[in-house]
């Protein structure tokens, strides 16, 4: 047998030949700092909603069986919003400690009246069990959630249908919540997640405003409709810039910045997007540049575990929640050419390690070796693995995302993140 034939047969047996090579993920459109994806997206200044993903959704259309339920759901929500109310912080029934109803106010979700006390105060903590009092008209949480969800649905409906009515209603909601002097929210969260009998507000309450992230993307999506004047667009950018300043300088914001769990990751995720939207690129770059050492090094172990989340009563949920923020940060990193998807500490701890720790439990969430009675293949983990599939292009992530898509047919993620092909 000649040498060439020996080498050929050896190549067939080599691991490299036996295992097909993963194709790299397709290149993403350019996200250019505070301009976002506008150059590739008909002037739509989005930062997380990629033009190629949304264009794929629009091209597939409402009749695509895989999209039909999610498409119908978002259009139904948008239609409801068309005839629905506007929302404002001044409509709550309680007055914040400042005496100014323009200040956002909420209650800690896991705090309940103490049955041992005549008036129930001070409230006591029941981790993972939400007190419905939080969602009452006494506070702003429900209004914030409904406003931001409506803006998201309306902006998507406008993009998918080209019906400007949806964009006009979204603009109306934005004016009332952020711009109009009589109804606007002050750009702070000083009285968020207070606890009756204990504290007027907590650092953890900064997390409430993550709902505004979908508002930022919605503002970009309705851009071509020209339903916001230049002055109104400037007012929105100023509002978010002022909120960034509050997050960076207030005692409440600084305390949340120094958290050691998912709160810190969501703080970073929010401030980077809001800084990009308000054209404060230096702030976004500084925060992104510290994620590996400040967050990954302190929250992700060498085996991918996140101990600060695993000690909670819903360990699976909080692990996914933390990694969703990290994955979103990594996608925002593209806008400033900072690769958090692949960056690691010197000993190899990074985002991929955390995702790989969860991977064996996709579709088998109840087998997760830490407590979580509600663990399941929900929208949160669907979003995480959809982003991971596009970031890494690896078969395991792609297949996980495809499986989770089947479990979440009505999810907005079906529309916002296009499916990555599986094998």
Supply angle C-alpha 155, 152, 252, rounded to 5. 135
Tokens (6 digits) for 19: 């295992």
- Cβ atoms of 403 and 395 within 8 Å: the answer is no
- pLDDT tens column, 395-408: 999 999 999 999 99
Residue 22 is predicted with a pLDDT of 66
- Cα of first residue to Cα of last residue in the chain, in angstroms, is 37
Tokens (6 digits) for 4: 């060439």
pTM of the prediction?
A: 0.93
Please give the C-alpha separations between residue 402 and each of 211, 350, 382, 384, in angstroms, as whole numbers. Answer: 26, 24, 9, 12
- pLDDT tens column, 148-179: 999 999 999 999 999 999 999 999 999 999 99
CA atoms of 276 and 61, how far apart (whole Å): 31
Q: Which residues of the chain have pLDDT under 70?
A: 1-23, 421-423
Residue 3 is predicted with a pLDDT of 45
- Cβ atoms of 369 and 398 within 8 Å: the answer is no
User: Which residues have a Cβ under 8 Å from the Cβ of 29 and sit 6 or more positions away?
Assistant: 37, 40, 41, 50, 51, 52
- Cβ atoms of 82 and 168 within 8 Å: the answer is no
Residue 334 is predicted with a pLDDT of 98
Q: Dump the DSSP string for 339-375.
A: -TTT-B-TT--BHHHHHHHHGGGTT-GGG-SS--TT-
Residue 21 is predicted with a pLDDT of 57
Q: What secondary structure, in 3-state letters, does 150-179 show?
A: HHHHHHHHHHHHCCHHHHHHHHHHHHHHHH
Q: Does domain 27-60+290-423 have CATH number 3.30.530.20?
A: no
Please give the C-alpha separations between residue 422 and each of 71, 89, 259, in angstroms, as whole numbers. Answer: 22, 45, 38
Locate the domains of the chain by residue range: 27-60+290-423, 64-258
CA atoms of 259 and 41, how far apart (whole Å): 36
CA atoms of 236 and 219, how far apart (whole Å): 9
CA atoms of 31 and 100, how far apart (whole Å): 39
Q: 194 forms bridges with which residues in the sheet? A: 107
Q: What's the CATH fold of domain 64-258?
A: Glycosyltransferase (1.50.10)
CA atoms of 291 and 296, how far apart (whole Å): 7
Supply angle C-alpha 287, 288, 292, rounded to 5. 105
Tokens (6 digits) for 277: 């939207």
Helix%, strand%, coil% for the chain, nearest 5? 60, 5, 40
């Amino acid at each position: 047998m000649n040498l060439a034939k020996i080498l050929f047969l050896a190549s067939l047996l080599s691991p490299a030949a036996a295992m097909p090579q993963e194709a790299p993920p397709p290149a993403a459109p350019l996200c250019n700092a505070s301009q976002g994806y506008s150059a590739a997206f008909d002037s739509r200044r989005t930062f997380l909603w990629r033009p190629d993903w949304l264009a794929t959704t629009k091209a597939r259309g409402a009749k695509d069986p895989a999209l039909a339920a999610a498409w119908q759901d978002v259009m139904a929500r948008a239609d409801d919003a068309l005839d629905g109310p506007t929302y404002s912080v001044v409509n709550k029934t309680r007055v914040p400690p400042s005496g100014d109803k323009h200040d956002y106010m909420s209650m800690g979700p896991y705090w309940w009246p103490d049955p041992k006390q005549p008036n129930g105060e001070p409230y006591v903590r029941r981790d993972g069990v939400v007190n419905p009092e939080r969602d009452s008209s006494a506070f702003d949480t429900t209004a914030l959630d409904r406003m931001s969800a409506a803006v998201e649905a309306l902006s998507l409906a406008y993009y998918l249908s080209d019906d400007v009515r949806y964009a006009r209603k979204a603009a109306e909601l934005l004016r009332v919540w952020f711009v109009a002097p009589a109804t606007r929210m002050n750009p702070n969260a000083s009285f968020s997640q207070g606890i009756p009998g204990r504290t007027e507000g907590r650092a953890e309450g900064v997390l409430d405003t993550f709902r505004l992230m979908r508002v930022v993307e919605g503002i970009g999506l309705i851009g071509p409709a020209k339903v916001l004047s230049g002055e109104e667009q400037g007012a929105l950018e100023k509002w978010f810039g002022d909120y960034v300043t509050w997050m960076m300088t207030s005692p409440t914001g600084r305390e949340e910045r120094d958290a050691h769990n998912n709160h810190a990751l969501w703080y970073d995720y929010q401030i980077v997007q809001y800084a990009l939207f308000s054209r404060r690129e230096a702030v976004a770059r500084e925060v992104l540049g510290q994620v590996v050492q400040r967050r990954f090094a302190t929250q992700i172990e060498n085996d991918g575990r996140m101990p600060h989340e695993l000690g909670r009563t819903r360990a699976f949920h909080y692990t996914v929640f933390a990694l969703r923020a990290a994955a979103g940060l990594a996608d925002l990193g593209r806008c400033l050419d900072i690769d958090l998807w692949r960056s690691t500490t010197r000993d190899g701890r990074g985002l991929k390690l955390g995702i790989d720790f969860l991977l064996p439990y996709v579709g088998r969430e109840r087998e997760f070796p830490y407590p979580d009675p509600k663990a399941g293949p929900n929208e949160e983990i669907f979003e995480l693995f959809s982003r991971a599939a596009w970031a890494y292009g690896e078969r395991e992530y792609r297949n996980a995302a495809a499986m989770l898509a089947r479990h979440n047919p009505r999810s907005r993620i079906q529309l916002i993140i296009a499916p990555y092909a599986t094998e």
